């Protein structure tokens, strides 16, 4: 049984292969889930050279390090105790993600709880956080800890050695498990494993001196969040994790927290079925998880008026493909089809004043050649948006949005913009987006006809707008933003202290059985 079957469709076999890899590794050792994200970045294949086992010298260094580490761990350390352990994503390049971090932290603080927040010392948002806590006189409730910071040079050396050994062991296990399946991790995955091992080692050393009653993690499979979520589960503490984005492959399973907050019922049902499939394939009992449809987490939904029609502009997302990166989803033909669609529209008599191409802000080494070609040929009608520009700026300039499976399309729909998910015959699809299939998922030719009609006819524009809003209300609970109020967290972290029914009504979220 493959856990991806029926949930995703792709011309690439990598999603299916990755699902088999996840299952085999988790069966062998559940802690290998920490490395799933890194394996997804690697090109697994039988042609990769087999990862070598640790030699005698490396094992000797490991034993010496373990002795030194045992002595080091007896050194006095400050005990940390808090009502709630909060682990945000250790990345601050996206303003929307930083805003989500701050809203979450403030919601927790307004519960009058003490909080231990795992925040890097150099986090760019620290000043803003301190300002908001100070304005409400809540600074004393929050203790900030960077688990990656060592006590001194000796501790730093032992941490480095511990992380190196941890990464080597995990990679050796991975190679041993995957070899019989015909897969070998590539050489490039070593540095990825070391990156994850640094976080796991840092947290597990910190965890020895930390007590907490509940945990909140941004995403249960991300670097630091993964071992933190596991600690909460092992200690039988309630824990909340949030949906990262469009559920685009099997990385989201297994769910390791007691509560999972999805955008809406559509994603919650989808992940619930996928998680059950994972445990069925594993041959193990599925732990109880509360799946909650909450609303948009970080991209703010604001109703844009029908007058956006007057902009006469098309926003294209999901292009271009990263240069030199593996096409995990098999979307390269779809990316080409989208750019061909743009070219065809620009060459037609469609009343399109402007075409805006918005690259994914997390993609590096983007192949922008085709985009620049379009801009050179149509300098007055075509432009490339900058990744640092906020999404609402580009949405505010658009009349129609087209792409493949980007979260921009779901947000645009909820905001009231006609949005099209362009499909090719063998192109990539995720069942997480199935609620948009009614009137919004079209072939390239159908999209060409629909965009021309929407940009020409105000009535057609308004009809397409209503379809987008209707479908988005199924994807985002109530078609609104998630209310990260103290009542919301109270319900799932301290259920015995209040009425679950009344709090559910106040928080505006929906819980699935």
Q: What is the residue extent of each domain of the chain?
A: 22-77+151-206, 80-150+209-299+484-513, 306-475
In tens, the pLDDT along 130-180 reads 999 999 999 999 999 999 999 889 889 989 999 999 999 999 999 999 999
Query: What confidence score (pLDDT) does residue 501 get?
Result: 35
Higher pLDDT pick, 408 / 12: 408
Order of strands, sheet of 115-118, starting from the edge strand that comes earlier in the sequence: 142-145, 115-118, 80-87, 210-217, 239-242, 259-262, 290-293, 510-512
* 21 vs 24: CA distance, rounded Å: 5
Model confidence at 46: pLDDT above 70 = no
Q: pLDDT value at position 359?
A: 86
Q: Which pLDDT belongs to residue 12?
A: 87
In CATH, 306-475 is 3.40.50.2000: yes
Q: Judge whether residue 61 has pLDDT over 80.
A: no
Residue 498 — very low, low, confident or very high, per pLDDT cuts 50/70/90? very low
For residue 455, is pLDDT > 90? yes
Half-sphere CA count of 418, side-chain side, radius 13 A: 28
**The pLDDT of residue 510:** 67
The reported pLDDT for the residue numbered 454 is 97
- Sequence-ordered list of residues with C-beta below 8 angstroms from that of 218, at least 6 positions apart, any chain: 87, 88, 89, 100, 101, 104, 225, 241, 242, 244
76 vs 281: which has the higher pLDDT: 281
Alpha helices in 208-264 (DSSP H): 225-234
Continuous H helices in 95-247:
95-109, 126-135, 153-178, 189-207, 225-234
Q: For 389-435, how does the pLDDT look when each residue is reduced to its tens digit (9 = 90+)?
A: 899 999 999 999 999 999 999 999 999 999 999 999 889 999 999 99
Give the H or E element holding residue 37.
Answer: helix 36-40
Which residue, among 365, 352, 364, 347, has the nearest Cα to 316 in the 3D structure? Answer: 352
Rounded to whole angstroms, the Cα distance separating 298 from 120 reads 21
Alpha helices in 347-443 (DSSP H): 369-377, 391-397, 407-415
* Confidence at residue 185, expressed as pLDDT on a 0 to 100 scale: 84
Task: Evaluate if residue 48 carries a pLDDT over 70.
Answer: no
The DSSP element (H or E) to which 442 belongs, if any, is strand 441-443
The chain-wide mean pLDDT, for the chain, equals 89
The pLDDT, as a whole number, for residue 73 is 55
pLDDT confidence tier of residue 506, bands split at 50, 70 and 90: very low
Query: Would you place residue 255 in the very low, low, confident or very high pLDDT band (cuts 50, 70, 90)?
Result: very high
With a CB cutoff of 8 Å and minimum separation 6, the contacts of 53 are 172
- Which pLDDT score is estimated for 503? 34
Residue 443, H or E segment:
strand 441-443
CATH of domain 80-150+209-299+484-513: 3.40.50
Cis peptide upstream of residue 254 (ω within 30 degrees of 0): yes
Between the two ends of the chain, the Cα-to-Cα distance in Å is 25
pLDDT of residue 499: 36
**Distance separating alpha carbons of residues 345 and 362, to the nearest angstrom:** 28
Higher-pLDDT residue of 433, 68: 433
Q: What is the percent of the chain where pLDDT is above 70? A: 88
Phi/psi at 429 (5° precision): -145, 145
Q: Say how many C-beta atoms besides its own lie within 10 A of residue 433's C-beta.
A: 24
In angstroms, the Cα distances linking 427 to 252, 316, 448, 472 are 21, 17, 17, 22
205 contacts 150 by C-beta, under 8 angstroms: no
Tokens linked to 101: 């971090």
Dist CA 493 CA 487 (whole Å): 10
pLDDT of residue 502: 34
Is the pLDDT confidence value at 267 over 80? yes
Residue identified by tokens 């999901």 is: 318
Is 306-475 the same fold as 80-150+209-299+484-513?
yes
Q: What is the pLDDT of residues 470-489, one digit of tens each?
A: 999 999 998 999 999 999 99
pLDDT band at 244 (very low <50, low <70, confident <90, very high): very high
Place of tokens 């009535």: 459
Q: Which residues contact 235 (CB under 8 A, 6 or more apart)?
A: none
How high is the pLDDT of residue 507?
A: 40
pLDDT at 447 over 70: yes
Say yes or no to pLDDT of 459 above 60: yes
User: If you average pLDDT over each of 188-197, 250-259, 489-498, which comes out highest?
Assistant: 250-259
């Amino acid at each position: 049984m493959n856990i991806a079957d029926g949930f995703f469709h792709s011309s690439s076999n990598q999603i299916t292969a990755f699902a088999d890899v996840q299952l085999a590794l988790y069966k062998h050792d559940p802690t290998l889930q920490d490395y799933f994200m890194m394996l997804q970045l690697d090109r697994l294949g039988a042609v990769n050279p087999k990862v070598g086992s640790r030699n005698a010298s490396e094992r000797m260094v490991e034993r010496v390090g373990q002795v030194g580490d045992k002595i080091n761990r007896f050194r006095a350390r400050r005990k940390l105790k808090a009502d709630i352990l909060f682990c945000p994503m250790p990345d601050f390049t996206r303003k929307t993600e930083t805003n989500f971090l701050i809203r979450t932290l403030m919601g927790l603080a307004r519960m009058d709880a003490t909080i231990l927040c795992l925040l890097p010392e150099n986090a760019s948002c620290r000043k803003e956080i301190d300002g908001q806590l100070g304005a409400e006189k809540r600074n004393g409730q929050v203790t900030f800890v960077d688990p990656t910071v060592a006590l001194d040079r000796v501790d730093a050396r032992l941490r480095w050695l511990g992380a190196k050994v941890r990464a080597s062991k995990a990679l050796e296990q991975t190679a041993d498990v995957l070899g019989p399946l015909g897969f070998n991790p590539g050489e490039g995955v070593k540095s990825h494993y070391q990156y994850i091992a640094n976080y796991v080692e840092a947290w597990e050393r910190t965890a020895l001196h930390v007590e907490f009653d509940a945990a909140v993690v941004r995403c249960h499979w991300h670097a630091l969040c993964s071992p933190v979520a596991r600690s909460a589960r092992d200690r039988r503490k309630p824990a909340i994790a949030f949906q990262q984005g469009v559920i685009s492959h099997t990385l989201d399973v297994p769910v390791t927290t007691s509560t999972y907050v999805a955008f809406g019922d559509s994603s919650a049902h989808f992940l619930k079925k996928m998680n059950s499939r994972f445990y069925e394939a594993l041959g193990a009992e599925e732990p109880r998880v509360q799946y909650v449809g909450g609303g948009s987490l970080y991209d703010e939904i604001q109703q844009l008026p029908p007058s956006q029609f007057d902009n006469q502009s098309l926003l294209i997302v999901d292009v271009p493909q990263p240069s030199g990166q593996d096409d995990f989803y098999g979307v390269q033909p779809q990316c080409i089809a989208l750019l061909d669609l743009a070219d065809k529209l620009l060459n037609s008599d469609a009343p399109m004043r402007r075409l805006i191409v918005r690259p994914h802000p997390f993609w590096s080494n983007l192949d922008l050649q085709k985009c620049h070609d379009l801009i050179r040929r149509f300098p007055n009608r075509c432009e490339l948006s900058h990744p640092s520009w906020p999404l609402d700026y580009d949405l505010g300039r658009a009349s129609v949005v087209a792409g493949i499976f980007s979260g921009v399309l779901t947000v645009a729909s909820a905001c009231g913009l006609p949005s099209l998910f362009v499909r090719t015959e063998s192109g990539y699809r995720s069942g997480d987006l199935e609620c948009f299939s009614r009137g919004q998922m079209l072939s390239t030719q159908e999209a060409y006809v629909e965009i021309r009609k929407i940009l020409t006819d105000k009535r057609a524009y308004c009809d397409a707008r209503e379809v987008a809003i209707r479908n988005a209300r199924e994807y985002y609970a109530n078609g609104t933003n998630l209310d990260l109020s103290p009542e919301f967290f109270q319900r799932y972290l301290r259920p015995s202290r209040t009425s679950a029914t009344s709090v559910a009504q106040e928080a505006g979220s929906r819980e699935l059985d």
